[in-house]
Amino acid sequence: MMLKSLGWVVLLLLAGLAVLVLASLAWMVGLGWAAGLLAVVWGAFLLAEWRQWLPLRDLAWAAGAGYGISVIRWLEVPLDEAALWLRWLVMAGYALCLLCFVWIVPALLGWAVQRLRPPPLPVEKPATPEMLRRWNPRD
């Protein structure tokens, strides 16, 4: 992901926040809605990787990060009177979940698309100066 401007970063943050809110609502409605939203987010990422649309890929990545945060909020465990080591263990699980949604799954999806994408078509080499010198404009 390339950071192009402050406006683009703000747009990515808004996309992640919007998916976070939508996913939180989907978790309240039911597991099917949450799974459907995840399919839309990862489907957009796959489409962007397949067509090589970098802006859509970045937006889908931010949406996946927002969805990962909603999963963390859905899995939130009340640890008010738990031991300190248990709190650290739960925070490590949250970090692992976020790592999965932000780094591991997009990498696996991108790898799968690269394996399935057909090879590029051959392109004719441009004429060299020597070839241009030998050819007349009449040719």
pLDDT at residue 42 tops 60: yes
Q: What is the pLDDT of residue 84?
A: 84
Q: What is the pLDDT of residue 81?
A: 80
The average pLDDT across 88-102 equals 91
Alpha-carbon torsion (47, 52, 55, 58), positive or negative: positive
CA-closest candidate to residue 43, choices 17, 71, 67, 73:
67
In a domain, 98, yes or no: yes
pLDDT at residue 28 tops 60: yes
**What domain range includes position 52?**
10-115
In a domain, 27, yes or no: yes
Q: What is the pLDDT of residue 80?
A: 78
Total number of domains in the chain: 1
Q: What are phi and psi of 10, to 5 degrees?
A: -65, -40
In a domain, 78, yes or no: yes
In a domain, 58, yes or no: yes
Measure the CA–CA gap between 70 and 89, rounded to whole angstroms. Answer: 19
Measure the CA–CA gap between 136 and 83, rounded to whole angstroms. Answer: 85
Measure the CA–CA gap between 3 and 8, rounded to whole angstroms. Answer: 7
Tally Cβ neighbours within 10 Å of residue 113: 17
In a domain, 97, yes or no: yes
In a domain, 38, yes or no: yes
Q: What are phi and psi of 70, to 5 degrees?
A: -65, -35
Banded pLDDT at 138 (limits 50, 70, 90): low
In a domain, 128, yes or no: no
pLDDT at residue 55 tops 60: yes
pLDDT at residue 37 tops 90: yes
Q: What is the pTM of this model?
A: 0.78
In a domain, 102, yes or no: yes
